[in-house]
Amino acid sequence: MKDRALNWPPLMFLLLLMVALFSGILFTDRIVRAPDILNEFYWGVYNAYGAPLWSMLKLNLANAGWDPYINGGHTNDGGMVSTQFLYLYRLIFGLIPAPASVAWFMVLHLFLGGAGTFYYCRLVGCSRTAALLGALVFALCTENVSLINAGHVMKIATIAHAPWVFYFLEKGFRDRRWFPYLCAGLVLAFQFFNTHWQIAFYTCLAVGGYVIIRLLAGLCSGESTAATGRTLLMSSVMTLFFLAAAAISLAPLASWSTDTNRGAHSGANQGKGGLDRDEAMMWSLPPEETAAFLVPGLFGLSRQEGGDMPRPGHTYYWGRMVFTQTASYFGLLPWLLLPLPLIFRRDRITLAALAAVAGGILFAMGKYTPLYQLLYDWLPGIDRFRVPKMILFITALGLAVLAARGLDLLRDDDIRRSPKLKGWFRWLLAIPLLLAALLLTEKLAGGWLRGELMELLTRPTRYQAGVELATQRWLNLERETGLALALASLQVLLLLAAAKRYLSVGVATLALLALFTADLWRVNHSFLVLTDPPQRTEQSLTPAMRWLKGQTGSSGNGVPVYRVLPLGDLDPMRFAAARLPVLYTSNAVQKRRWQEYLDRVTFTNRLPDLMNVRWLVCTEPVLAQITPHLGEAYRIVFREGGEVILENRGVLPKAWLVPTARVAADPTERLNLLTAPSFDPARQALVETTPQVSLDGTASGTVRLERLEAERISLATDAAAAGLLVLGEKYHQGWRATVDGAPVPVVAVNHILRGIYLPPGSHRVEFSFAPLPYRIGRGITLAAFTFFALAALWEWRRRRRGSRAD
């Protein structure tokens, strides 16, 4: 117990250090300048501050999460409901006011990842000082910290869980008990709940590799077949428990993803689904950029090009990737210490950490290696993601462990007297010599090298272009190489002095930790760019927004009936945050039907009318651009402060009765008919199967909207003959319908809408959203959580009995 209590001082030091280092983005009324934050994430959390504590803790699992305000109605089939289990998320945004809460969220999760690395290092035998170094590597390496610059908030949160997964997994290997394996599975599930599924997928791949290494190491060391079998069995139980605990997300997402533009039915990737080869490997790490592991600014230090010019001495990325918002730098010290465990401690921990480093780098190179090409063809899931470089967080974890073990070995008197240390000395000297040779080459052969790299060096930025930009980038390259040489030489001198006992190991360790932190922070600081936050109060609504909110067309206090289409540079998320439904928001993964609809929308066809798009909002310059392309249905109804609103007079109501239906099973045929000038959606509907009732073309009647909420829509209808009721809402298999309380099938109408067949007479119709995969997944997850709670209680009682016996 005392030993565990002594782990807190290093962690408190780490936390205070991070608060001090990141104080510029933590204690401010400004916000990180990243489009992903400004345009998307911020609007989801800006009004969370000050909520009652009970509301931060309560769960609402009854609703599967249909958002009527974005993308014409959006859902992941309930796959996002699991974020309610992320209490740290909810508490941070509830207790810390925006915009600072966004930065606190990212920094605290970096600390969480560092703390997990610390405990893993302690578990495998590292001293507290060495474990602190490991924590610093993971929490402060630019590969992870520069994600702040990219605005990848939930990616940071997802990464932070990875060290804890390996901590509990390793604890299970050592204790040979079930409970740590269950904990590892639970952490994996919560990692998945943080919604960055590519990071979660890569963590699962790494866990699989870790288990294989553990099993092989056990067999090679003479471990009994029974012990190996037990390890395999418990690892399998961990996997099954993870799948059960995450089922509330996994089951809906598995259903949802099949019909997206990357899904198996999309026709992408030669009909197999996923991304085509070129797109899937677009962000592969070029092999030459591994040199940036030692010289962080070799290819520039990228930032968002959304504001200020780069400061003198800083240039934007110019390598072979399309672009990058991050930098893959882990500091020099881990690479200097890396050989020590390989020389003196070649056990399964070192082997696993080395596999994480080498395997992560090889995987990150993507299209430049046969390995990734093979994985793309044969390993399920790989072709769903497009940034192989993203796996480098696993490399960061492996380096952290190797660096921690290396520092402990350096502090060992027997190791420092070992003749094997000469091999490490050669490695130490090789790095500054390599950097010196690189700098000399840059100086002596600079003219030739610039000519060879001119195409990349002159790649324009938002602000600069031409030969001057190439010169600036080359000077930056030379400066960064020289700085890396100086830092490497100083750290090598400290390491040699400590190894030769010319300097106290304690003093050398403190100096090395300080240098390491300063080195990383010099690079990281370039990525922490702030800007003023978007306006977020009711009083700060634009004149156009205030006008729109004053229009009729809402169902009581529910969702507005009609949709808005912001054009040009107007941010649709601002309208959605003001509770104005928008037709389209940017999303890389869309439902197939919806993407096909968006690809065909114009101002001269009836597709906007189908989705209740009544208002177009734009600026005066955009109006001048679109005016020649507008149909006769659009007229200006508002003009103020540079904003213009046009009303679509041909918009259809939220629901209407159609007297005739035409079967068009082929999607291309349907879309062609929908966009034809002669198509009248008020008189005819396109369906995909034979109508269930006889439509004689005489149906007429009334439809009255009684309730319009996110997941429930109620209507009253009255018709003299059978007809097809069409709802101006997206079709989705999770929506169910009842007529006078009796369930009826929901059919796809006009490619993207939903509808039901109605008999003549007066009826009450109700639509509700309750997808089956979500309901099944929710039940499995709650059962898994109950099982874990019972297991935790049993474990607590077991430990309590053990402590009494002692």
d(CA 49, CA 467): 49
d(CA 86, CA 88): 6
Q: How many CB atoms lie within 10 A of CB 267?
A: 12
Which pLDDT value is given to residue 384?
86
768 by Cβ neighbours in 10 Å (0-12 / 13-18 / 19+) ranks as: middle
Q: Considering the entire predicted model, what is its pTM?
A: 0.90
Among the listed residues 531, 513, 528, 393, the one whose alpha carbon sits nearest the alpha carbon of residue 22 = 528
Q: Which residue has the tokens 């010290």?
A: 333
d(CA 774, CA 250): 9
- In the DSSP assignment, the letter for residue 638 is E
Which pLDDT value is given to residue 551?
82
The residue count of the chain comes to 806
Phi, psi of 678, deg, nearest 5: -85, -10
d(CA 580, CA 805): 64
Residue 392: CB partners within 8 Å, gap ≥ 6?
143, 285, 328, 360, 361, 364
pLDDT digits (tens, 9 = 90+) for 671-682: 999 999 999 999
pLDDT digits (tens, 9 = 90+) for 228-278: 888 899 999 999 999 999 999 999 988 888 887 665 555 555 556 678 888
Phi, psi of 265, deg, nearest 5: -95, 5
Radius of gyration of the chain (CA): 30
Report percent pLDDT > 70 for the chain: 94
Strand partners, 662: 686
pLDDT digits (tens, 9 = 90+) for 459-479: 887 777 777 888 888 988 999
d(CA 632, CA 629): 10
d(CA 39, CA 623): 22
- Cα-Cα-Cα-Cα torsion 190, 194, 200, 204, nearest 10 degrees, comes to 0
Provide the residue type at 801 as one letter. R
Which pLDDT value is given to residue 450?
87
pLDDT digits (tens, 9 = 90+) for 284-332: 999 999 999 999 989 988 766 555 555 655 678 888 988 888 899 999 9
Structure tokens at 190: 């919560």
Phi, psi of 331, deg, nearest 5: 90, 160
Structure tokens at 138: 């993971």
d(CA 708, CA 769): 12
d(CA 330, CA 439): 21
Tell me if 165 sits within 8 A of 187, measured CB to CB: yes
Q: Are strands 655-658 and 723-730 parallel, antiparallel or unpaired?
A: antiparallel
d(CA 564, CA 576): 9
- Could you say which residues of the chain have pLDDT below 50? 1, 554-556
